[in-house]
Amino acid sequence: MEFQSERLILRPWKAEDAQVLYELANDPDVGPAAGWPVHQSEEESRQIIESVLSNPLDFAICLKETSTPIGAISLMVPKLKQREEASPYDKELGFWIGKPYWGHGYVEEAANMLIDYGFEDLWLDQIWCAHYTGNSKSARAQAKLGFCFFKTEEHVLVLLLGEFRDEVINRMTREEWKALRNAK
């Protein structure tokens, strides 16, 4: 499965993307803000492509002109503290973008494609999205996309980093999505 917009292609990750993934994910300003450690080698990035980024709704965000990955985006089973409020017809949106590509609106463009797919084709009831406090870039992106504050969970274990953080949980309902699309 692949999605295209004016500037981007969302496509499955490939093993040959490992070098580019490593170059983006070894930046300490990228992964730790999202809750995962910096990549230590190209081989580690290859293993992550094979084990973590291989689900059907995990995509490389690629520039259309080069097909080069600049980040990642996915729709997944809600894994956060909102699970007790989630229905089987909910997904969680996750994303990150490489630092050289910050500030160009790529996350918003990519996320809108997956949000539309989730509500139009998967018939989702809600899409959840979260960020750790202090991650202002993710907070801003989620607000631009139309996600609404749901709750803050304090002292949440960030398993991959072995630390605790506060996490802001946002969501978008089908009705909110329809209202946003009708307003455009």
pLDDT tens per residue across span 69-120:
999 999 998 865 555 666 778 999 999 999 999 999 999 999 999 999 999 9
> Which residue numbers in the chain have pLDDT < 50?
none
The confidence score (pLDDT) of residue 78 equals 80
The tally of domains found in the chain comes to 1
The CATH code of the domain that includes 85 is 3.40.630.30
Identify the pLDDT of residue 140: 96
Distance CA 123, CA 141 (A): 23
Question: Can you give the pLDDT at residue 111?
Answer: 98
Partner residues linked to 8 by β-bridges: 63
Tell me the residue range of the domain where 174 lies. Answer: 3-183
Q: Which of 100, 93, 151, 135 is nearest to 117 (CA)?
A: 93
CA distance 23 to 6: 25
Residue 66, Cβ density class (10 Å: 0-12 exposed, 13-18 middle, ≥19 buried): exposed
DSSP 98-152: -GGGTTSSHHHHHHHHHHHHHHHTS--SEEEEEEETT-HHHHHHHHHHT-EEEEE
